[in-house]
Amino acid sequence: MRVLVNQHAAFGARTGIGHYTRELLRGLQKVAGQEQIDVFPTGLFGRASRLAASVHRPTGAGSQQAEATPGLLRRCRQQAMAAARPMWRMMLGSMFRWTCRQGRYDLYHEPNFNCYPTDVPTLATLHDLSVVLHPEWHPLHRVKLFHEHFAATLRQARHFFAISEAARQEIIRVLGVRPERITCTYMGVRDGLRPLLREEVAPALARLGLPQRYLLCVGTIEPRKNILRLMQAYCSLPTVYREAWPLLLVGGWGWNTEAVADYYRSEARHRGVIHVGYVADQHLPIVYNGARALVFPSYYEGFGLPPVEMLACGGAVLASTAPAVAETVARSNAHLIDPEDDDGWRAALERVLVDDDWQRSLRHGAENAVRRFTWERCAEQTLQVYQQLTSGPRIAAKAA
């Protein structure tokens, strides 16, 4: 069996889909045995794709680069990239079809929603339906791409993967996909995300220029992450708490961030909020371990990776009641709050800072609660679907 996987999403600064693509490929290469897992793009197109992805590396709001880049220049750069996307996708599509003809593949797996047209039997991972259900949360080019290509993906793909049971049920309900055509394969915890001794954490935080005590929020700043509400709740805390425990926002600026950026610059950064920007993967274990608690107020997720990663580090989690998030932290003591409950977020932030016993209770058993989320298991279950599609037996729809 030969399988071709599109690795494009793993290039550049990775968010959820990028982590899924990279870690799934690593896992498949470990468990594939006699099966051959190839990737696209490679060679010249692979190098060009990596270079293009590096242009979009996010920066922090307080960074010199972000503050020094004029708004007009940013918009011109974004418009230029938007104009280049269709041509680049067409070139990649041509190269993809040539690769398929040369490789004689049994399957093609698209980890990032929209498939390249091909006669090769296709699988696609649908991480969530936010573009379908909430197009206002996404840039116009992404919504346009879905309108142009997603219906074809639904027709082309023989089988789908979802990254949580909540996402799987939503796909069945909204898109009418038959249950036997979609399998839940949970994301996993990356290597190195584990509890660390304070003696390891403190000097590493100092080297990164971060405070020794803080609350933490991880994720790209975009509408569905609900960051404005979080900052407003935090800024309403008494000054004494904010001075002792700043709020670190780890993640780059995404799309439609004007209101968040305005509030950050005019109010939040003067009241204890620090926008760190994108943090490289190797530093995340330190950043998670240094936090009093992770705060994750997202309106909607397909899985919710930061809460699971924080639990793997033995940390306390305050998270929203978004269905996929509630599912993935269900075996932990994470405290869940309605994403629109202003008073609930403020109360939880204050309590986790002042109530040591409660904070310790949130951390109790955190690591054990997420041991089931491993990339090896994700890869094994994905490989099983590959094998069943090529050999014929019925596919189990749910992840173990």
The set of residues, in sequence order, having a beta carbon less than 8 Å from that of 365 and lying 6+ positions away, is 332, 333
Euclidean distance between the first and final Cα of the chain, in Å? 24
- 56 & 84 share domain: yes
Q: Are residues 264 and 179 in the same domain?
A: no
Residues of the chain with pLDDT under 70: 13, 45, 52-85, 88, 392-400
Residue 340 lies in a domain: yes
What pLDDT is stored for residue 228 in this prediction?
98
* Number of domains making up the chain: 2
Largest CA distance in the chain: 65
The CA-atom distances, in angstroms, between 169 and each of 173, 308, 319, 339, 397 are 6, 21, 21, 21, 11
Angstrom distance (rounded) from CA 253 to CA 251: 7
Spatial distance between the Cα atoms of 362 and 315, rounded to a whole number of angstroms: 8
Neighbouring C-alpha atoms within 13 Å toward the C-beta of 337? 23
Residues 335 and 247 reside in one and the same domain: yes
What the block records as the tokens of 352 is 């986790």
What's residue 90's pLDDT? 78
Clarify whether residues 226 and 362 are in a common domain: yes
User: Do both 322 and 216 map to the same domain?
Assistant: yes
* 220 inside domain: yes
Closest residue by Cα to residue 164 from 18, 392, 372, 7:
372
Q: Taking the complete model, does pTM exceed 0.85, yes or no? A: yes
Give domain status of residue 396, yes or no: no
Sign of CA dihedral 145, 150, 152, 157: positive
Tell me, yes or no, whether 132 lies in a domain: yes
CA-wise closest residue to 41 among 107, 88, 74: 88
The pLDDT, as a whole number, for residue 68 is: 37
* 205 lies in some domain: yes
Domain containing residue 317: 198-369
Residues 140 and 225 in one domain: no
Contact status, residue 285 vs residue 192, Cβ threshold 8 Å: yes
Q: What is the pLDDT of residue 42?
A: 87
Give per-residue pLDDT as tens, 363-380.
Answer: 999 999 999 999 999 999
Q: Per the structure block, which two tokens stand in for 151?
A: 């219906």
Are residues 43 and 169 located together in one domain of the fold?
A: yes
- Per-residue pLDDT tens for 159-211? 999 999 999 999 999 999 999 999 999 999 999 999 999 999 999 999 999 99
Q: Are residues 119 and 250 in the same domain?
A: no
Q: At 269, is the secondary structure helix, strand, or coil?
A: helix
pLDDT score of 205: 98
Peptide bond into 41 cis (omega under 30): yes
The token duo for 357 is 């016993």
Task: Give yes or no: residues 259 and 174 share one domain.
Answer: no
381 with 337, same domain: the answer is no
320 and 387 part of one domain:
no
In a domain, 176, yes or no: yes
Identify whether the C-beta of residue 218 lies closer than 8 Å to the C-beta of residue 250.
Answer: yes
User: Position 99: which residue type?
Assistant: T
119 C-beta neighbours (distance < 10 Å), count: 10
User: CA nearest 373: which of 310, 316, 321?
Assistant: 310
In a domain, 193, yes or no: no
Query: Residue 81's pLDDT is what?
Result: 60
Contact between residue 89 and residue 124 where contact means Cβ atoms under 8 Å apart:
no
The string of DSSP codes covering 21-44 is HHHHHHHHHHH-TTSEEEEES-HH
Helix (H) or strand (E) holding 328: helix 323-328
- Asked whether residue 400 is domain-assigned, the answer is no
Both 324 and 381 in one domain: the answer is no
Q: What is the pLDDT of residue 11?
A: 87
CATH code at 225? 3.40.50.2000
| Residue 302 contacts residue 164 (beta carbons within 8 Å) | yes
**Residue 145: per-residue pLDDT:** 85
How much is the pLDDT for 85?
Answer: 64
**What pLDDT score was predicted for residue 87?**
74
Contacts for 374 with CB less than 8 Å, ≥ 6 apart: 188, 189
